[in-house]
Amino acid sequence: MSKQNDLAEDQITEYVTTIIDGQLFGLPISRVQDVFMPARLTRVPLASPEVAGVLNLRGRIVTAIDMRARLGLARRDDGRPPMAVGVELRGESYGLLIDTVGEVLKLPDAGREANPINLDPRLAKMAAGIHRLDSQLLVILDVDRVLEMGSDAMAA
């Protein structure tokens, strides 16, 4: 996350773009381990609603986070399987379930704007700024804050 503070003029950050409920999001590529099709997801009873379940990704147990639930969006009803973006936090693997994965965008840090103040507060907590693209807005997701979920407090 040091890149955020490093706002040199010609600094470029690459983002893996994803679409969740029609909105374009970007995840800094430095934080993305891989993108995969989540298969054989095991639901975890009694877990918080954001936890979609756990799955086996090449011998590692990955906790799948339902990004729609995390962002407070409606459940997906088009019946299409979600994609997952693999990220790591403190040695643990997570898969962020999103609708679709888009291309990788190289965006200058200089073009990043602060969150609009009227951004949905839930989203604002996880957004690290906005990029205005030609056709739409890209919301940058802060992976650490996405994974900062209520259950942490309970686990501690």
Partner 1 sequence: MRKGLWFMDDLLREFLTETNESLDLVDVQLVRFEQEPNNAKILDNIFRLVHTIKGTCGFLGLPRLEALAHAAETLMGKFRDGMTVTGEAVTLILFSIDRIKEILDQLERTEAEPEGADADLIDQLQKMVEQGMRAMADAAAPPEPAVPQLTEGTLVLQVLERPLRPGEVSLDDLERAFRETPGPEQAPPAPPTPPASIVKAKPAAKPAQSRKFAEPEAGGDHDKVANQSIRVHVDTLEHLMTMVSELVLTRNQLLEIVRRHEDSEFKVPLQRLSNVTAELQEGVMKTRMQPIGNAWQKLPRIVRDLSGELGKQIELEMHGADTELDRQVLDLIKDPLTHMVRNSADHGLETPAERAAAGKPEQGTIRLSAYHEGGHILICIADDGRGLNTEAIKAKAISNGVVAEADVEKLTEAQIHKFIFAPGFSTAAKVTNVSGRGVGMDVVRTNIDQIGGTIDVKSVMGEGSSFTIKIPLTLAIVSALIVEAAGDRFAIPQLSVVELVRARANSEYRIERIKDTPVLRLRNKLLPLLHLKKLLGIDDGRASDPENGFIVVTQVGSQTFGIVVDGVFHTEEIVVKPMSTKLRHIAMFSGNTILGDGSVIMIIDPNGIAQALGSLATQQDLVDENEAMRAASGEQMTSLLVFRAGSAQPKAVPLALVTRLEEIDVDKIERSSGRHMVQYRDQLMPLVEMDGVALRSSGAQPILVFADDGRAMGLVVDEIVDIVEERLNIEVASSRDGVLGSAVIKGSATEVIDVGHFLPMAFADWFHRKEAMPSMHAQSVLLIDDSPFFRNMLGPVLKAAGYRPTVTASAQEALGILRSGQQFDAILTDIEMPEMNGFEFAEALRADTRMADMPIIALSSTISPAAIERGRQAGFYDYVAKFDRPGLIAALKEQTAELHQAA
3-class SS at 118?
coil
Give the total of residues touching partner 1 (CB under 8 A): 25
* CB atoms closer than 10 angstroms to residue 74: 8
Whole-angstrom distance, CA of residue 98 vs CA of residue 26? 11
Choice from 8, 61, 104, 124 touching partner 1 (CB under 8 A): 61
- Residue 117 sits in the site that holds partner 1 (CB under 8 A): no
For position 96 contacting partner 1 by CB under 8 A, the verdict is: no
Instruction: Give yes or no for a contact between 65 and 94, defined as CB atoms under 8 angstroms apart.
Output: yes
Three-state DSSP at 124 gives helix
Pick the piece of the chain touching partner 1 (CB under 8 A) from 88-96, 98-106, 112-120, 126-134.
88-96
The answer to whether the beta carbons of residues 129 and 108 sit under 8 Å apart is: no
Q: Decide: is 46 part of the binding site for partner 1 (CB under 8 A).
A: yes
Q: Interface with partner 1 by CB under 8 A: which residues?
A: 40, 42-48, 51, 54-56, 59, 61, 63, 65, 90, 92, 94, 147, 149, 151-152, 154-155
